[in-house]
Amino acid sequence: MHPYNLYTIPVSLQVNFDLGNFEPCSELIVRNLSDLSSIFNDQQALQDLLVVENPVVYEFRYAPFVTPVSDMTFGITRINPGKVGNEYYMTKGHFHEHPDQPEIYTCVRGCGYLLLENHAGEFKAEQWQPGTVTHIPPGWAHRAVNTGDGPLIFLAFYHLSAGHDYGTIEKTGFASLLIEQEDKPVFISNPARKSG
């Protein structure tokens, strides 16, 4: 049994696209820099930052609309602007636990990239601006990266039962990193890349 309310009659919520939140909201996950230490390449830069502060890298809010026969879920993520060394702030990234589960992301504010990688090691990067909708097919790990000066805010639509498998992509890392060079985002291959 999951702990969520049952929504057998239609309901609505109100999203604030500027702030990247919605009301009413009961489920909030905040990821600080210290929660994300394994995903950044420059470990020295990470440690230097953590000595001074432990900033919020991103916040993720979600609303599971669970009925006895369905579990559509709405989510909104706000990634703050920032970098660790020259690598931009980004989400942890994950595969879905269930291999038949897709997702749709919609960028509503800011700019960046969605990095995607499947189990065969095929890598793709989708450039984002407000209004970009990306379909994430089943079997593709996904990570959003904020390359802008302001927040990157995106909506997510998925099934709650899709689940999150963080461990698989954490072990290998994504094939490419997005770093800033001469004020521009540049892809480089991940020096810490391990084969799966």
Residues that bind Zn ion (CB under 5 A): 103
Q: How far is the CB of 161 from Zn ion (least distance, A)?
A: 12
93 binds ligand PAN (CB under 6 A): yes
| Residue whose CB is less far from ligand PAN, 84 or 162 | 162
Q: How far is the CB of 77 from ligand PAN (least distance, A)?
A: 4
Q: How far is the CB of 72 from ligand PAN (least distance, A)?
A: 12
User: CB–CB of 47/71 below 8 Å?
Assistant: no
| Residue whose CB is less far from Zn ion, 46 or 77 | 77
User: CB–CB of 76/156 below 8 Å?
Assistant: yes
Q: How far apart are CA 61 and CA 167, in angstroms?
A: 21
Which tokens in the block code for residue 138? 């089943």
Strand partners, 124: 116
140 binds ligand PAN (CB under 6 A): no
Strand partners, 145: 90, 113
- In 3D, which of 79, 91, 84, 86 has the Cα closest to residue 49? 84
Segment interacting with ligand PAN, rule: CB under 6 A, options 49-57, 64-72, 89-97, 123-131: 89-97
Q: Is 49 helix (H, G, I), strand (E, B) or coil?
A: helix
**Contact residues: ligand PAN, CB under 6 A:** 60, 75, 77, 91-94, 103, 142, 156, 158, 162, 164
